[in-house]
């Protein structure tokens, strides 16, 4: 583990955003295909893999970008603008290899990353799994929902509870995708292209070396970014995703819908001439920019804290989760408004506004960005002791 930032933040950010720009149009063209098949197509997966999007959060010594939190957020924002499913799978996929890359011991890394190969992954951190402690590891059983990208994954990370001497411990467990049963249940309203179906195991043996304590694990490689902890290490992903989808909707409305004319009589008027539409656009733009600025400020503060050898305070962790919730809330409002004001044309599948509406409503159901984040932050502001920002 390095105590110094091993990357040039500005250079890494420029290179990653340039890579997104290079693949954006192709991902946009692929998006309807991904959605029709309820999972990313092999073409979309290869595009993301070749551009380094699944390496976004992986330690540099394993071939990753080891990007700082704000860069991660901006990259996912740009990806979401091009394809919401691609962005969502990139955020889950990069976390699924980034965390084990930082926390697993060398023996497990040698097997998971053979000869420098960087695998594709999926992860569900909710501690759903039940375990039995056995010689050399654990017997794991459970069924985990919302495994985004699992159909193209090689390895899976899953949250589980280990009870040792009567004390429950939250551990992450990593195992090959080939060892699980996949359940074809991803028939949903939005984020269809993510392929986020359930998987299950029953009595699967997981070696101790392929597990770590999610909340208090020993970091074995990588720089200070992996000391940010939770929820900060993943909340930024949701902020970036939401901001990208909402900006896409706002731009699409301005470019394609605002000039349309409507009315029952022969005297039609354009949407752009309506004060209500003008207000919606102006307010929506400012709300997105304000939420984005605060998200950048807080994620920069978290990174600065670990670069200086500390860790984000409980209050900052609460703010990191709350700003992700706020970005999601604002994005959903903006997307809903653009859909509502665009009229009947928005209901057709070929209109990007209906997809943005569906995808944002599904993304907003994620527990990470629920209103609990606001409640936790409010408790902190009131001085309530021992508030858990991961509640």
Q: Any idea what the CATH number is for the domain that residue 171 is in?
A: 2.40.110.10
Residue 345's pLDDT is 85
pLDDT number for residue 262: 73
Domain that holds residue 64: 9-116
Residues 180 and 321 in one domain: no
- Within a domain: 183: yes
- Reduce the DSSP state of residue 228 to 3 states and report it: coil
* Whole-number Å distance between alpha carbons of 321 and 165: 32
Question: In what order do the strands lie in the sheet containing 155-164?
Answer: 181-183, 198-207, 137-144, 121-134, 155-164, 167-176, 211-213
CATH of the domain at 320: 1.20.140.10
- Look at the block and give the residue holding tokens 């936790």: 376
Question: In the prediction, which pLDDT does 233 show?
Answer: 96
> Are residues 234 and 306 both part of a single domain?
yes
- Look at residue 359 in the predicted model and tell me its pLDDT: 98
Do 346 and 251 share a domain, yes or no? yes
CATH of the domain at 71: 1.10.540.10
Rounded CA separation 205/215 (Å): 22
Pair 71, 16: CB distance under 8 Å: yes
The residues facing 193 across adjacent strands are none
Which of 76, 98, 116 corresponds to the end of one domain? 116
Is there a single domain that holds both residue 348 and residue 236?
Answer: yes
User: Looking at the domain assignment, is residue 1 inside a domain?
Assistant: no
Q: Quick check: 195 and 127 in contact, CB under 8 A?
A: no
Whether residues 73 and 44 share a domain: the answer is yes
Residues 112 and 57 in one domain: yes
71 inside domain = yes
Could you tell me how many residues make up the chain?
391
Q: What is the reported pLDDT for 6?
A: 61
237 shares its domain with 372: yes
In a shared domain, residues 21 and 58:
yes
Residue after which a domain boundary falls, among 94, 116, 138: 116
My answer on whether 100 and 32 are in the same domain is: yes
Q: Does a structural domain hold residue 220? A: no
Same-domain status, 31 and 48 = yes
Domain end call among 151, 183, 213? 213
Total domains in the fold of the chain: 3
pLDDT at res. 2: 52
Of 62, 83, 69, 64, whose CA–CA distance to 20 is shortest? 83
From 331, 336, 343, 312, select the one nearest 369 (Cα to Cα). 331
386 belongs to a structural domain: no
Q: Are residues 352 and 249 in the same domain?
A: yes
Same domain, 72 and 208: no
Per-residue pLDDT of the chain (391 residues; tens, 9 = 90+): 554 556 799 999 999 999 999 999 999 999 999 999 999 999 999 999 999 999 999 999 999 999 999 999 999 999 999 999 999 999 999 999 999 999 999 999 999 999 999 999 999 999 999 999 999 999 999 999 999 999 999 999 999 999 999 999 999 999 999 999 999 999 999 999 999 999 999 999 999 999 999 888 899 999 999 999 999 999 999 999 999 999 999 999 999 877 777 767 667 777 788 889 899 999 999 999 999 999 999 999 999 999 999 999 999 999 999 999 999 999 999 999 999 999 888 899 889 999 999 999 999 999 999 999 999 999 999 999 999 999 8
Reduced to 3 states, what is the DSSP secondary structure of residue 134? strand
Asked if the structure places residue 112 within a domain, the reply is yes
Inside any domain, residue 4: no
Confirm whether 221 is domain-assigned.
no
- β-pairing, 121-134 vs 155-164, is parallel
């Amino acid at each position: 583990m390095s105590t110094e930032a091993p990357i040039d933040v500005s250079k890494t950010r420029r290179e990653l955003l340039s890579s997104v720009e290079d693949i954006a149009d192709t991902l946009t063209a692929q998006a309807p295909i991904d959605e029709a098949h309820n999972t990313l197509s092999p073409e979309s997966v290869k595009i993301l893999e070749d551009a380094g999007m699944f390496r976004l959060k992986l330690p540099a010594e394993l071939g990753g970008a080891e990007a700082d939190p704000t860069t991660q957020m901006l990259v996912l924002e740009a990806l979401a603008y091009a394809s919401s499913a691609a962005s969502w799978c990139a955020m889950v996929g990069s976390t699924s290899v980034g965390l084990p890359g930082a926390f697993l011991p060398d023996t497990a890394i040698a097997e998971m990353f053979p000869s420098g190969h960087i695998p594709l992954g999926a992860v569900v951190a909710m501690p759903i799994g039940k375990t039995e402690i056995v010689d050399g590891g654990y017997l794991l059983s459970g069924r985990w929902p919302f495994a985004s990208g699992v159909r193209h994954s090689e390895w899976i990370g899953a949250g589980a509870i280990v009870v040792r001497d009567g004390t429950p411990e939250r551990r992450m467990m990593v195992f090959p995708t080939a060892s699980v049963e996949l359940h074809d249940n991803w028939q949903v309203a939005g984020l269809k292209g993510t392929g986020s179906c359930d998987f299950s195991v029953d009595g699967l043996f997981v070696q101790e070396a392929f597990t770590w304590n999610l909340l208090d694990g020993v970091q074995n490689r990588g720089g200070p970014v992996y000391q940010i902890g939770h929820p900060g290490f993943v909340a930024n992903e949701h902020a970036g995703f939401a901001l990208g989808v909402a900006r896409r909707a706002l731009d699409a409305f301005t470019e394609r819908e605002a000039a349309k004319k409507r009315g029952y009589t022969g005297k039609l008027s354009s949407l752009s001439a309506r004060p209500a539409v003008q207000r919606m656009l102006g307010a929506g733009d400012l709300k997105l920019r304000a939420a984005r600025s605060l998200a950048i400020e807080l994620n920069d503060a978290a990174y600065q804290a670990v670069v200086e050898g500390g860790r984000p305070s409980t209050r900052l962790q609460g703010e990191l989760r709350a700003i992700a919730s706020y970005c999601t809330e604002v994005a959903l409002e903006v997307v809903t408004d653009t859909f509502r004001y665009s009229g009947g044309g928005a209901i057709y599948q070929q209109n990007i506004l209906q997809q943005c509406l569906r995808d944002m409503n599904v993304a907003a159901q994620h527990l990470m960005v629920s209103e609990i984040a606001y409640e936790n932050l409010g408790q902190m502001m009131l001085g309530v002791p021992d508030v858990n920002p991961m509640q």
